[in-house]
Amino acid sequence: MIGAYFLGDQRIETRPLALPEPGEGQVLVKVSACGVCGTDVHIFHGGKGSAEVEPPVILGHEFSGRIVKIGDGVTGLEIGQLVTIDPNIYCGRCRPCRRGQKQMCHHMRAVGVNMDGGFADACLVPYAQCVPVSQDVDPELAALAEPLACCLHGIDRAGIRPGENVLVIGGGTIGQIMLQLARLAGAAKVVLSEPVEKRRALAVQLGADAAIDPIHEDMPARLSELLGAEGADVVIECVGNPRTSAQAIDAAARCGRVLLFGVPAPEAVLQTGLYPIYQKELTIMGSFVNPDTHSRAVALLASGQLKLKELVTHRFPVSQLEQAIRMQTSTDSIKVLVIPEAAE
User: Bridge-partner residues for 234, per DSSP?
Assistant: 166, 257
Asked if 75 is an active-site residue, the reply is no
Q: Taking each helix axis as running N to C, give the angle between helix 145-158 and helix 173-184, from 0 to 180 degrees, rounded to the nearest 10.
A: 50
CA–CA distance, 92 with 74 (Å, rounded to integer): 20
Q: Is the dihedral of CA 321, 2, 57, 311 positive or negative?
A: positive
CA–CA distance, 258 with 172 (Å, rounded to integer): 18
User: Bridge-partner residues for 58, per DSSP?
Assistant: 5
CA–CA distance, 50 with 59 (Å, rounded to integer): 12
Catalytic residue among 14, 42, 153, 313: 42
Catalytic residue among 39, 173, 244, 293: 39
Asked if 42 is an active-site residue, the reply is yes
Q: Which residues are catalytic?
A: 39, 42
